[in-house]
Each structure stands twice: as structure tokens, then as C-alpha cells.
Structure 1
Amino acid sequence: MGRKVVLYIDAMIMPDKNAAAQRATAICKSLIDIGKKPVIVGLKKDINHNISVLETLENYSGIDCYAVKYPVSIKEWLDRMITIKPFIDVVHRYGKENIHSIIAMDYEVIALYRLRKYCDRNNIRLIADSVEWYGKSKLKFPINIVKDLDTAFRMKYVYPKLDYMICISHYLYQYYLDKIPNIVEIPGTVDECDLKWSKIKKYTGNDILTIGYAGHPGFNCEKERLDWLIKAICELNQEGIACKLLIAGFDKSIIEDYLPDLKKHRFYSSSIKYYGKLSHLDCLNMIATCDFSAIIREDKRVTRAGFPTKLSESFGCKTPVITTPSSNISDFIEAGRNGLITKDFSYDSLKQVLFQAYNISLGEKLEMHKKLVNPLVYRIFNKKLANLLA
């Protein structure tokens, strides 16, 4: 076999249950294209903690996938932060002599340090896939303190000691460019040939401006300003500008319990529709039928460092995006072609762009959907990955 096997490890819940799974699948398809054999070791919620990782083998899209139990208790979280045994078990399954690399997506720092030592001893390349710079943890004490320390040590002390890195955003790429000798920037991407796209509904237009949001905005909308979007939609309706917002990915209590003033607006019930948690395919279908999807993020380190998976997925649905210029999203937005971008990170700027979207005719929107070309297809970045693994 030679050294062709590449392990990819993190908190991905396969095949499509979270953003990490989407990221891993796209990178693994690139690995296949450049002649490697990817193997994923992720998490799974419905398995016993004592089951061997080798008994969990499943195959998705031609990729061998293993899983360990999703940690729930403090003990399980601490075990995850320290142990590398499941990964070594999988390495032995394929043979150490056949392992080219292990890609670790923002893995816990103690385990990552131990993995680095293991890789050095066995002539295996360790590659960090840096996709987030987490803010202050909202987990319960004392796990929140441990998580915050973990993030700080990984980003500032462990990552700079590595020789190889993939960065999801330009911010992370620039931060590590003079610290890590071999580094590439690969944003969140999709496979345009995936069969799921053939199951997506066709856009036929809407009677009124319809915006779609899929995902989770975080506690008190700290990750995405969905509260701004809801408020703007309600205010525009009050001003006689008919529009509605479709929301999927969480129960409406997340908004209504923590931001109760929003639901008091007279147009809230009539213009905001919640679908709750949907399957990945159903979320894509919702976005595909909207005039625009929305990604509303403020300018802070956590949003500069990340890159929204939902951008490439909206493009995959041929749905243009309304977005703030967070991270390096603007590199992939052509105003009036595949989206609209706010001039800054303010509420007023968002409202102005929504008004701009309202003034786009149905014919123009149909044309935007029809002609949208996805600039975030994984194959575009194959050469970068091949050079990193050369």
C-alpha cells in the first residue's frame, strides 16, 4: 500500500450531522482525488462507551469511518482530552508503515501533544486543521475552565510547534504564516457532484422576499446575529415592505426564552417561521426555495477565524447569500451575482441590504439562482492539499 493512509480525527458526527463532518468529507474527497486513502475517526452519540473503536466501522462516500462515544460526563470529557488510544488502534488496523499523515481538526491540546510525540516516533506527519478560534466556553464549570485553557494552549503554544497546517480562513492563515513552515488555506467546500444536490428542490421564486437561515446562532446570538435579522424583517414589514424569514436548526425557544422582546413585535408571528431541527437534506431544501440565505456575523476574533460551512452549501443550492463581510467571505461574493454583502457590521447596514434585496425583481432573482456558480467546490483546492502532502 505504501504510505497512503491519512487519518482525519475530530468531533465530526458522520455522515452529515455537524459542520465538522461536512469539512472532513470535503477534505477526504480531495485526499482520494490526489491518491490517498482517507480514514475518519469521529464521534457518535448512540454507542456504548466501552465498545472498541474498531467495531464501529462504517463507510460513507467511499471513506472508512470509525467513531468513539460522544463525551457526556466530566470523566468522558477528560478521557477525550487526554487519550489517543482509539487513534493508535486505527493506525494498527491499517499498519503504521502505511500511515502517511494524521490530520487533527482543532483537537484537544494534551491529546494533540501526545499524538505529536507518537507521530514523531513513527515517521508519521501530523497536520493541524485549524477551523476555529473559540471564544469563552459556555460549558458547565469546571469543564469551561479546562476548555478555555485548552483553546489558549493549542492556538498559542502547540500549533506553532507543528510543521504542517491547513487553515479554514485567511485570518488563521495570516496568523500562522510566519510560525508554521508548511501551511495552506482551504475554506469550507462542498462536492458539486454529490447525489444530494440532485434531490434539492428547484427555485421557482416567492410572492414576497423570503430569507432562509439554517444553523444555530449560539447562546444569545453571540455566534450569528439572528436577532438582528429577525428584528429587521419585522421592522421592514411594519414599514410596508413585505418579507419573511424561515429558520431551521433549533427550537424557537432558543430565541424566545433568551430574547423575549423580539417576539413582542407585532409582525413577529406572521413574518418569522421556525421549522425546528431538520435533517441535513431538509435544511438544504428549505434554503434552496428561499430567495436568499443569510449569514450575519459581527467582526470579532471568533468570526474572523472561522469560515461558515453554510456559505458553500447555499451556493450548492444555487441560493445567493446575504452576508456581513466577516472572515474572508467577501472573497467569494460577487455582488448581484451570488449574493449581497453589507458595507459594515451594523444593524442599519443589514437593514439596507435587505431593502436592496426587496427591490430585486423576480426575474432578476430567478436569473441569479440559475446562473450561480459555486466558487467553493473542493476540487478547486486539490492542488494546495497535494502540495502540502508532497
Structure 2
Amino acid sequence: MKMIADATEWYDASAGSLTHRVIKFLDTSLRMHIVHRLADGVITTSKFLTAFYGRRGKTTVELPTLFDGEKFQSPPSREDNLRKDFIYVGSPFDVGRVNKARSNLKERLDVCIEVFYQLYLAGGNFSFEIYGIGVDDYLRVFPEHAAMLQEMAQCTTFKGRQPNQLVLKRVAECDFSIFFRDETRVTLAGFPSKLAESISCGTPVISNKMVSLERHAQNEGLFLAARGEEFALVKRVMTFSSAEINAIKQRAYHSRAFDYRNYVDEVSAFMAELEV
């Protein structure tokens, strides 16, 4: 019998109570350094983990978050209007466990808010919907953004946690989904499932250039900016016409970039190498 480990994340242990941090550190260290290394093979989700276990002589196969592409419906055509609709979906941080330096944020929703505030001041015609966190929880971590959000109340809305089907419907209806991340061990080790889900819905994604996304940098509908250049990228996509956005959405949807069928050969080779 062969044992195969599935390494999808490297959890952070820098915040919370001392007891929580110690238990989380021991649990993560045991799993990442010992349990996975005892496995015959490791399924990874990122270049970072592939290299990490490859250096330790493990047989690996790198798989992003995958879906059955045939279960997603073709995205609706956007109407010919000037407003661009953006959507963020996720949990950018654990409200009760953000450290004082705010260095353990999973995602930089604050950068999104600041980018859209710049766009708002420049007179941009947009809407930005945020799913997965409420405004009160967000302001507990970023109280300095209260005035910005109040000023942008007509175009930036927090929807909180909502049923998955409703969120997927809104993703498909929007022009772009957006999220930004810093390069940390936590973010490099995982793969953003929201990226794969959005592309599968036919909605292009705006994010940062990261090692974990290099393999997918040429995918249809993936727009990547270097850190510090996020506003310039958002300004650029704001110039796209309705016809251009509809074409991008259709290409992203039909690319089936994250359909599990596209990875059958890689998994077959991995299993053959393990002689399963």
C-alpha cells in the first residue's frame, strides 16, 4: 500500500493566544516536515511546495484547485454600459488573530480598498462588491479606512457571508474578480481557489505576480500586476469596452484551464512513478 499526502497549505502560527500558537506551530511542523516526508508521494498545489518536497527527494505532482468545468454555465453577456463591476470573494484574515504588525494577512483586501478609493477620486465609474467579510469586521483591523468606505458607500459594498450558489452567480455576472496577496510562506504554499473558480465561471481575475501563479500566467483572463502597480492595472482594465470584456469572459470560460480532465496525464504519470 502506498501513502500519498495532499499538501495544500502552510498555516500561519504568528497570532492568537500562546496556547493556540504553540499547538498550531507543532501541528503544522509535524504535518509539513514529518508526515508528508514519510509519504511515498505528495500532491502539491504550488511551485513553492513542489520545490520544497522535490529537494527532499519526494515524488510530487502539482495540481491547482480543480473543478468539473462542464458544471459551470456560460457567463451572461454584459450590457453595453460604462460601469465596470468588480467582485472580491474570500476571508482576507481571521479577525481575532491578526498580529500587531498586520503581517499575517492572507489577502490584502486593504490594497483593493485603497486602489478603488484612488479610482473613485479619479472619477471612475465602477461597483465593488465584497463577499466573505462584513464591514464591521474589516474595520476592526483597518479602522483608518472608515472615512474612505463611507465616502465610497454608493459604489463599494460589503455583503458578508452568503450562500455559495449566490456568490458564484455574482462572480459570473461581474466583469472582474480581484484579490491581492503579499508573498509569504503561507500565500506561496497554497493556490487561490477563488482564481480557479472565477476563471471557470468565465470571469477574468486581477491579482499580483507571484511565484505560485507563474505556471498560470498565460491563462486566458488572468491579469497580474507587480506589487505597487495594482492601480495602474485596474485603470487599464477600466478602459476595456463591453465587447472586449465579453470576449475575454468567453475565452476564459472556454479555456477550461482548471478542468480536472486537463490534468489526467500528469496524475497518471505520478501514479505510474509510484508504481501504484
Pairwise TM-score range, normalised by the shorter structure: 0.7 to 0.9
Deviation at 1:264, TM superposition (A): 0.5
> Conserved in 2, the CA contact under 8 Å of 1:162 and 1:180?
no
Match of 2:11 among 106, 113, 134: 134
CA distance in 2, matches of 1:193, 1:362: 25
CA distance in 1, matches of 2:23, 2:206: 36
> Conserved in 2, the CA contact under 8 Å of 1:212 and 1:287?
yes
> Conserved in 1, the CA contact under 8 Å of 2:75 and 2:203?
no
Deviations 1:321-377 (A, max 9, x none): 101012422422338x413110x222xx11111101111112111111122223111
For 1:298, the equivalent position in structure 2 comes to 182
Deviations 1:128-176 (A, max 9, x none): 1101112225454413211112212322233223221100111100111
For 1:378, the equivalent position in structure 2 comes to 260
CA distance in 2, matches of 1:137, 1:289: 37
Unaligned runs of 5+ in 1: 1-123
Alignment of 1:338-349 (within 5 A): 338-342=221-225, 344-346=226-228, 349=229
CA distance in 2, matches of 1:226, 1:187: 22
SS state at 1:269 partner: coil
Q: TM-score, normalised by structure 2?
A: 0.87
SS state at 1:341 partner: strand
For 2:239, the equivalent position in structure 1 comes to 359
Stretch deviating more after TM superposition (169-178 or 147-156) = 147-156
Alignment of 1:1-390 (within 5 A): 124-136=1-13, 138-194=15-71, 197-198=72-73, 202-205=76-79, 207-219=82-94, 222-265=105-148, 267-334=151-218, 337-342=220-225, 344-346=226-228, 349-372=229-252, 373-389=255-271, 390=276
SS state at 1:132 partner: coil
Deviation at 1:127, TM superposition (A): 0.9
Deviations 1:269-323 (A, max 9, x none): 1221121111111111111111110121111111111101111110111001101
CA distance in 2, matches of 1:246, 1:369: 19
Deviation at 1:268, TM superposition (A): 2.6
SS state at 1:125 partner: coil
Paired-residue identity, %: 25
CA distance in 1, matches of 2:165, 2:204: 18
> Conserved in 2, the CA contact under 8 Å of 1:173 and 1:184?
yes
Q: Which has the higher contact order (CA 8 A, sep 6+)?
A: 2
> Conserved in 2, the CA contact under 8 Å of 1:237 and 1:267?
no
Paired residues, number: 260
Q: TM-score, normalised by structure 1?
A: 0.63
For 1:115, the equivalent position in structure 2 comes to none
Deviation at 1:214, TM superposition (A): 0.7
CA distance in 2, matches of 1:271, 1:330: 32
Q: Which has the larger radius of gyration?
A: 1
SS state at 1:376 partner: coil
